[in-house]
Structures are given as C-alpha cells and as structure tokens.
C-alpha cells in the first residue's frame, strides 16, 4: 500500500490496530543524511519489547505495572525515492498478547479521545464545583454507557489537572477581568479591589 504522507500511513495503522483490538506506539525513525527526510518509520504494538525493571512514578513512588511483553507486531513505512509518498515496507502480524474484546475496545488508546465537547463540559462543570470523576459519571449517563464515552475517567482528570495548572497564579487576574467585562455590559456595576506587595 502507498500513502501520500507519513501521517496517512500512521493513521491507517492506528485504525487497523483499533479494529483488531490492540494499542500501538511509535518506535524508532531513520532519516536521510542528504535532506533530513524520514526514510523509515517503525510503528509497533504498545507491548513490544521488554522492560527489565518496572518504572517508578516519581511523585508517589508507586511502581507502574510492566506492560512490555515482547510482542512482535510491527509496521514499517518507507519513503519512496524522489517522492514525498510512503509505502508499507514490512508488516508483521503475529500478535503474542491477548487482544481486547469488542466490549472493551473503547478502552484502547486509539479509541480514547477528548473531544472539544468533552473539554467544554469539564470546564463548565468545574465552574459549578463538579469534579472530573462526577463529570465523567454524569456524561456516561447522558451518552448511554461507558462504551459511548470515547474517553476514560483518567482523561477527564488529566484535563482538569491541566486547566488548574494553566490558571495557577492567574486566577485573581481572571476574576478582575471578569468584573471588568461585566462592567462594560452594565454601567451601574461598581467594584473595587486593593493589592498588596504579594
């Protein structure tokens, strides 16, 4: 198979993996010395290779589970000479680990994606002091079950964490800007604030 761009080839393999029931990850890349273009791109199963010692999460000193199991599934995309197109150079299908079932396929990395609607929903709920877990449960009821969510509770928590990290140190300024906006809409609104050296 041939693809117009490298990204098209990667998207094709991600869709194949999602339908087949396994997760993928990018592996090594080879570039041409002459122009720096990617000549070979390897895409493998997320369980490819081995990790001798389990990783320890830095913040909580918690051991992460070993996920690498020596799976041999691999796709190699190769740059076609004198073109910007790519073709499948090699393809190995021998899955050695258990695949996800159709009922649990929505938990794979390829199936999980926070949409703009999800993000807006999390932000709106956050303004009403509704946490990420409760937001996830509420949305699950709206869409008719976990299989229709297209995201996990961890995705919800991570997005809310990123929002907090983004506004840290700016929350007071955001409050003042909000009052200024309201004052422009309503001339009779009055507010006053003082600042100290902190």
pLDDT computed for residue 62 by the predictor: 62
Tell me the longest C-alpha to C-alpha distance in the chain.
Answer: 72
Per-chain mean pLDDT for the chain: 76
Mean pLDDT, residues 10-18: 79
Whether the per-residue pLDDT at 67 is higher than 70: the answer is no
> Cβ neighbours of residue 10 under 8 Å, at least 6 residues apart?
26, 41, 43, 77
Q: Return the higher-pLDDT residue of 74 and 130.
A: 130
Structural domain spans, the chain? 2-104, 116-185
Side-chain half-sphere CA neighbours of 36 within 13 A: 0
Q: Return the higher-pLDDT residue of 85 and 83.
A: 85
The full 3-state SS of 118-178, as one line of letters, equals HHHHHHHHHHCCCCHHHHHHHHHHHHCCHHHCCCCHHHHHHHHHHHHHHHCCCHHHHHHHH
Share of the chain above pLDDT 90, in %: 3
> For residue 145, what are the CA distances in angstroms to 5, 19, 59?
36, 20, 33
Q: Do 143 and 135 contact (CB within 8 A), yes or no?
A: no
Q: Do 113 and 149 contact (CB within 8 A), yes or no?
A: no
Alpha-helical segments (H) within 21-79: none
- Summarize pLDDT for 125-177 with one digit per residue, the tens: 887 888 888 888 888 888 887 777 777 788 888 888 888 887 777 778 888 88
pLDDT computed for residue 66 by the predictor: 57
pLDDT computed for residue 95 by the predictor: 62
Question: How many Å apart are CA 39 and CA 81, to the nearest integer?
Answer: 9
Bridge partner residues of 25 (DSSP): 44
Q: How confident is the model at residue 57 (pLDDT cuts 50, 70, 90)?
A: low
pLDDT computed for residue 182 by the predictor: 92
Q: Which of 65-69, 108-112, 169-173 has the highest mean pLDDT?
A: 169-173
């Amino acid at each position: 198979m041939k693809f117009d761009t490298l990204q098209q080839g990667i998207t094709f393999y991600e869709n194949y993996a999602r339908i087949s029931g396994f997760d993928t990850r990018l592996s090594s890349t080879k570039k041409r010395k002459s122009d720096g273009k990617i000549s070979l791109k390897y895409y493998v199963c997320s369980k490819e290779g081995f990790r001798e010692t389990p990783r320890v999460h830095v913040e909580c000193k918690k051991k992460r589970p070993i996920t690498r199991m020596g799976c041999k599934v691999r796709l190699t995309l190769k740059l076609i000479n004198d073109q910007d197109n790519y073709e499948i150079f090699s393809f190995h299908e021998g899955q050695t680990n258990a695949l996800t079932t159709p009922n649990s396929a929505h938990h794979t990395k390829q199936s999980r994606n926070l949409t703009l609607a999800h993000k807006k929903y999390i932000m709106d709920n956050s303004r009403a002091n509704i946490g990420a877990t409760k937001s996830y449960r509420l949305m699950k009821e709206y869409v008719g079950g976990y299989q229709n969510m297209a995201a996990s509770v961890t995705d919800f928590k991570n997005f809310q964490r990123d929002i907090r990290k983004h506004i840290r140190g700016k929350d007071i300024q955001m409050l003042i800007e909000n009052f200024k906006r309201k004052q422009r809409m309503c001339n009779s609104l009055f507010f006053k604030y003082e600042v100290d050296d902190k």
